[in-house]
Amino acid sequence: MGPGTRHLVLGAVLALAGLVGCTPAQPFVTPQRLDRGLLLVLTGIEGRGRINEGICWGLADAGVHCAIELVDWTMPVAYLHNLRDQERNRKKAEDIANRITRYQMSRPGRPVILVGHSGGGAMAVWIAEALPPDGSIDGIILLSASLSPGYLLDISLHNSRRGIVSFHSREDWVFLGAGTMTWGTMDGRHTSSAGMVGFDVPARPGHEGLYGKLFQIAWHKRMARTGHTGGHPTSGARYFVATYVAPLVLAKKWDKAVIKTILSDERTATCPTTTTSK
């Protein structure tokens, strides 16, 4: 299969999964919300679409009142290019990191959190890596990140005060198993992604405290009741985000106790039978 054919196949898969084709509005970016903080939602390689818009709505549904901005870092309909062009992607990450720095200068002390879905998970990590030496953000939340399991998170963990929470699923074998084995991860490895199998924690002296800020959450069948059935297209399901992701944003800190409370909270464990499209 040639590169052009692979590109068309990947585009067809993304389209069939319902990931593409939405409007450019930013309903959750207002001066009032920006005064409360900034949350950037990084799209996957497909660009703006139903999944990442659902992430934004799920956060808003659950009472996240800061600015929620959907950031499309991609080139339109250039899926393999978006996946493979690390030079361009890291330059985009630097540009977004500079934007964050300017925001922090204009609104000191306001929280900044990154939420990255799939390829956007890699972008979130690279944005944190691109922050200036004295720069930091509050935290990073990864949903089905398309990074290799062995990718080192040292710099991004150091630059995120709360740390990194990474959701992964063994059921995500189509996109983050067979898919990244064929087309590669965002960091150019032909392997199952960390968004499927989790990140490797390096066994190096002196890094125990740093990687103590990495919280990895495996998909569980009870999450299906919130719309996330384990596969890639549902890992950004609106009610799943409201149930499991928004409480992380609203928490003052991340630790094992906070994660345990969110995972065991049965008050929001059932997906509504009907949802209002907004």
pLDDT given at position 13: 44
Tell me the H-state helices in the chain.
3-16, 31-34, 50-61, 79-84, 86-106, 119-129, 154-158, 180-183, 194-197, 208-211, 238-240, 246-250, 256-264
For residue 43, give the nearest of 27, 31, 26, 55 by alpha carbon: 55
Asked if residue 103 belongs to a domain, the reply is yes
Please state the pTM of the whole predicted model: 0.89
DSSP state of 123: H
| pLDDT tens string 178-187 | 999 999 999 9
CATH number of the CATH domain containing 222: 3.40.50.1820
Q: Which positions ≥6 away from 98 have C-beta within 8 Å?
A: none
Please indicate, yes or no, if residue 205 is contained in any of the structural domains: yes
Q: Which domain holds residue 105?
A: 29-268
Q: Are 69 and 99 in contact (CB under 8 A)?
A: no
For the chain, percent of residues with pLDDT exceeding 90 = 82
Asked whether residue 105 is assigned to any structural domain, the reply reads yes
Establish if 194 belongs to a structural domain: yes
> Does some domain include residue 12?
no
With respect to residue 9, please indicate whether it lies within any of the assigned structural domains.
no
Instruction: Count CB neighbours of 203 within 10 A.
Output: 8
The pLDDT of residue 8: 43
20 within a domain of the structure (yes/no): no
189 closest CA partner among 151, 149, 153, 148: 148
Which tens digits make up the pLDDT trace of 44-90? 999 999 999 999 999 999 999 999 999 999 999 899 999 999 999 99
Is 45 among the domain residues? yes
Q: Which residues of the chain carry a pLDDT beneath 50?
A: 4-22, 269-278
The per-residue pLDDT for 207 is: 64
Instruction: State the total domains in the chain.
Output: 1
